[in-house]
Structure 1
Amino acid sequence: MVRTRPRPPLAPPSRWGRLTVSSRSLVLFLPGGAMFEAAEQRLVEAGQPEVLRFWPQLSDTERKTLATTVQQQEPGELRAHCEAAIRARTASQTPLARLMEPLPQEVVGSVSRTEADVLRRWQERGFQEISKGHVAVLLLAGGQGTRLGVPYPKGMYDVGLPSGKTLYQIQAERIRKMKQLAEERLGGKCTLPWYIMTSEFTLEPTEKFFAKHQYFGLPQSDVVMFEQRMLPAVGFDGKIILEGKGRIAMAPDGNGGLYRALTDNKILEDMDLRGVRVVHVYCVDNILVKLADPVFIGFCVERGADCGAKVVGKAYPTEPVGVVCRVNGIYQVVEYSEVSQETVERRNPDGQLTFNAGNICNHFFTVEFLKSVTEEFEPKLKPHVAVKKIPYVDEEGNCVKPEKPNGIKMEKFVFDVFQFSKKFAVFDVLREDEFSPLKNAESAVAKDTPSTARRALLWQHYRWAVRAGAHFLDHNNSRIPVLTQLREVDDPPAICEISPLISCEGEDLEERLKDREFHPPLLLID
């Protein structure tokens, strides 16, 4: 079973932008005048009557769409949201530099600084958890991918690999392989469910894409899609922005909307029924992400962690990534925009950056911790302000694309819950093995583009092939000199792509490649 819509509530919903059976039905059966009166009453209570100012000019379909959106808003929550947006934008921020502390070493584990036998022990523990059905993977895929410049979900993007595989397909195949490895190591069948948090923008195309590709070989019952909430954008005057005469400007409530979505869609109950105890959470755009990484899972379980984060060393001091640290003794992620140049460049006596644990949105949570968040802590999370250029209609009904920021989008981040952890753990991994995000269109900037993501994966697979004993030949049948240094501006010396169904981390390739010579491109696809 794939659950693509929230279960209908027993009472009228107080949810942002959710299309539920109850609210949709209510609007469809109201006559035109009553429909207006019902919407007007809600908006007056919320202090937002201007939303209906173009009502006489709307078609019946546009009126029903707008009334449906309004019906889904609980007036008190809507008023509080708009007021909070204004307060948050004008609030003075406490300087963080003097409050920040680097991570204490006792909470940090490292791939590069840990002995091989300890890594193997963590890996074995992780595989044990997977084989018992205790592990689930949860994908955050609700964003619109505006910077990438495509009209479809980012997971459907093809970065230009020889195979033509999309991010969704690569990730699905990694889950299949991890499940297979756990079964082979420990015997017996196991399940490794994949939960995918979408939004109103990404649910339908994602659902159709998976169905078209037959869930990429995964059991359909183990792929569970669900929606996060939507929030209206607010102008600097505290009024809801209309992006069309009959359409409110809405946006997903950030990847921290996960915690309300878990409750709205009864996901934790579903995990309980499946016997899931720990969850690996990640963002869709990282082409190198290791799904249900047994080493990470084993490390966190052995440490008794309820919450964990993977990090990478910053590529350079001013790299625009958040850092995992402590602020006033509380674990959190501090965004690069929140600190001074002096702070980001601060170094220890050994020359290492003081704040070097770059956040890559790759997390471990126990189900019990997620329950405590949804039941107790989620209301305490403070939304973050994003000041944006938001298309709108002016008082004459003309569509305007602003040249300067004109509105506020409020969102929460998945890492906002670190502060509630009773046993936090941080796992330091290698960037070249685990982190290359896809965020920007090719023409925008040189960083985090389809080209850099493609090259990162091809370099990784080239290194695997060389390590397994493969030799690559040029057009003169001479061996191409081996290079192992990742350079984002260049493709590797030989193009090589290896399917996740063959190898997840470069394992078990010697039989196929050792002491053999190949003319590139080398494609180990099936």
Structure 2
Amino acid sequence: MRRCGMEEMGAIKEKLQRIGQTQLLDALDALRAQGDEDAAARLSDQLSQLDFDTLAAIRAQFFSSNASRSDETNALPYELDKLQPAQYVTLEAQNEQRESGEQEKFVSAGEQLVKQGKVAAVLVAGGQGSRLGFHGPKGAYKVSAARAKPLFQLFAEQLLAVMKKHNAVVPWYVMTSSANDEATRSFFKEHQYFGLDPDNVVFFVQGQLPAWDFSGRLIRERKDSLFMAPDGHGGCLKALKVSGALDDMKRRGIEHVSYFQVDNPLVSIVDIEFLGRHVIKGSEIACRVLRKRDAKEGLGNFCIYEDKLMIIEYSDLPDELANKRVAGGDELMFSAGSPSIMIFQLAFVERLLSDDSELSLPFHEARKKIPYVDEDGNRVDEPAEKNGCKFEMFVFDALPAAKSTLLVEAPRDTSFAPVKNPEGADSPDSCRAYMMNMHASWLEACGIQVPKKDDGQSVDCVIEISSLLATSAAELQVAIDKGLAKAEIPRELERGRTYYFE
């Protein structure tokens, strides 16, 4: 156990006083008075590792007044009547570009980036699968229809397919959390990195922030420790720098980063055309867009505010704006939803994180029931009501800082099938249905008959196509023509059977 020296404790004391946390000094004194030097050492060691500049920023943003924070009102940092809908490259426009041949230049530019080794993939995978009734990293959750492959494996096979096709290396940076880092690394080792070179899989750990009570004091969950919580997916960018992953990217010659989240197995991790559009446009951040199904769908809304692109959480967009329609039609005015699929210029990330940068991501507050130690030193595991605030950063808050951005619509049925809920929408079952329907459409495009249920749409068998065989209908046709599948693909599939093609 590390023990802080007198000089270090003096610096900690000064920093705690600066952010108004002298109650923690009292807690340390009380532990020592009780003769519990080990507990005091654990608490002081944790305090020594806090980012006091970040805590000072949170205190200034949320606790600069004496007003009570026990209510549920969050002041939004923008005037709602000044929000405008963001424009994006629609699927219709992309089809026109395909027919005119303009799309070819995007594909060519994207292929060039990959072949030159200038692209990396970044996966945000700090979550646990507890909401799904699964004990372990969410990326280890088995989701594919025929072979029950875990999410990590589906992503790994995509990367392997891209690297083989383009004879290139795409390093994979996987952000874990303190809760699942060891388990994630062990999972990859257990599965031999799913065929990837371990040198090209880089793990880095998400940062944490302490929770605060409504009066602006840091919360102790035990007598010798503060309550800590992940700092949000926006913490991914800072964690890249702190961990040394950013330096590793620079050493490899990476210039563009494909960012995605662990719960969406339909994501195209290295989307060649999207990369090409991004580099030709010269955007610092490019984002995929989903056209919202309804006004209150749980997707962030791309908006323009004071000539800057930003995302407004669906829960923050008032009903009158969410339901507003384009003049003379039924289409939503604020139709651009975010599936959290992005490409960053590495130079932009470096600029955002530089020591002299005036750019920074704001913090977002979430009021929660947080376990705490009361004044008598007793732990309260289940507070009767919300008693504190967790703070986190969102990666999309980098958008207003970018000098150039690009929004490109993605086809929902082949791009977005998140695994969030145990049942119903965005569940494992709905995800598998999306994946099977996509694979069925590839087979049908190759002239193979797929049985359907009475609704005429749902697949009436179990289908899974490995990315190692094909990642599109065109690639599947090539594989069929060349006889690349390990087992022959029949011209007609049978009802109720399970089919796996690799």
TM-score under structure 2 length normalisation: 0.86
**Offset of 1:290 from its aligned partner?**
0.7
- Could you say which residue in structure 2 is the equivalent of 1:488? none
Matched, 1:365 2:344: yes
How many pairs align? 479
Q: How does 1:94-109 map to 2 (within 5 A)?
A: 96-104=79-87
* Structure 1 Cα separation of the partners of residues 325 and 20 of structure 2: 50
Q: 2:298 aligned with 1:320, yes or no?
A: yes
Is the 8 Å Cα contact of residues 305 and 423 (structure 1) preserved in structure 2? yes
Matches of 1:67 and 1:523 in 2, distance apart?
Answer: 58
Q: What are the ranges of 5 or more consecutive residues in structure 2 without an aligned counterpart?
A: 481-487
The match for 2:485 is none
Alignment partner, residue 497 of structure 2: 521
Work out whether 1:69 is the aligned partner of 2:46.
yes
Q: Match of 2:315, SS?
A: helix
User: Are the equivalent residues in 1 in contact too, given 2:266–2:435 (CA < 8 A)?
Assistant: yes
Structure 1, residues 245-285: CA drift from partner, whole Å, max 9, x if none?
A: 32311111111112222221232322222121111111111
Distance 1:121 1:521, change over 3 A: farther
Q: Which SS does the other structure have where 2:120 is aligned?
A: strand
Amino acid across the alignment from 2:48: Q
Provide the rounded CA distance (Å) in 2 between the counterparts of 1:458 and 1:108: 22
1:453 aligns with 2:427: no
Structure 1 position 222 matched with structure 2 position 200: yes
Q: Distance in 1 between matches of 2:440 and 2:213?
A: 50
Q: Which residue of 2 aligns with 1:115?
A: 98
**Structure 1 CA distance for aligned equivalents of residues 103 and 456 of structure 2:** 23
Structure-1-length-normalised TM-score = 0.82
> For residues 350-389 of structure 1, what are the structure 2 equivalents within 5 Å?
350-375=329-354, 377=357, 379-389=359-369
Corresponding residue of 2:465:
498
Asked if the contact 1:35/1:67 (under 8 Å) is kept, the reply is no
Q: Is the 8 A contact 1:42 1:71 kept in 2?
A: no
Once the 2 structures are TM-superposed, how far is the Cα of residue 449 of structure 1 from its aligned partner?
A: 2.0
Amino acid at match of 2:345: T
Query: Is contact 1:82-1:239 (8 Å) kept?
Result: no
Corresponding letter in the other structure for 1:440: N
- For structure 1, the residue ranges without an aligned partner over 5 or more in a row are 1-26, 184-189, 473-478, 486-490
In the TM superposition, residue 213 of structure 1 has moved relative to its aligned partner by 0.8
Looking at structure 1, the residues matched to 152 and 102 of structure 2 have their Cα atoms a distance apart, in angstroms, of: 32
Q: CA deviation at 1:298?
A: 1.2
Task: Calculate the aligned-residue CA RMSD, in Å.
Answer: 3.0
Report the 3-state secondary structure (helix = DSSP H, G, I; strand = E; otherwise coil) of the residue aligned with 2:399. helix
What are the residue-to-residue correspondences of 1:181-192 with 2, within 5 Å?
181-183=165-167, 190-192=168-170
- Taking a change above 3 Å as real, the CA distance of residues 50 and 492 of structure 1, as seen in their structure-2 partners, is farther
Query: For 1:296, which of 252, 270, 274 is the aligned residue?
Result: 274
The answer to whether the aligner puts 1:78 opposite 2:59 as a matched pair is no
* Aligned 8 A contact 1:377 1:420 in 2: no
**What SS is found at the alignment partner of 2:106?**
helix
Is it true that 1:239 corresponds to 2:223 in the alignment?
no
Question: Would the alpha carbon gap of residues 60 and 364 (structure 1) be closer, same or farther in structure 2, given more than 3 Å must change?
Answer: same
| Between 53-62 and 64-73, the greater mean CA deviation after superposition | 53-62
Structure 1 residue 424 corresponds to structure 2 residue 405: yes
Which stretch of structure 1 is more off in the superposition, 331-340 or 79-88? 79-88
Post-superposition Cα deviations, 1:280-326, rounded to whole Å, max 9, x if no partner, equal: 11111112111111111111112222210001011111112111121
CA contact (8 A) 2:207 2:230 kept: yes
Matching residue of 1:307: 285
Q: 1:198 to 1:60 in 2, by over 3 A?
A: farther
Does the residue aligned with 1:471 lie in a helix, a strand or coil? coil
Q: Percent identity?
A: 30
Query: For 1:90-143, what per-residue CA distance to the aligned partner results, in whole angstroms no more than 9, with x for missing partners?
Result: 763356431111224579995556424333442232122111111111111224
- 1:161 is displaced (CA, Å) by 2.9
Say which SS state the counterpart of residue 372 (structure 1) adopts: helix
1:390 aligned to which of 363, 370, 373: 370
SS in 2 for 1:493: coil
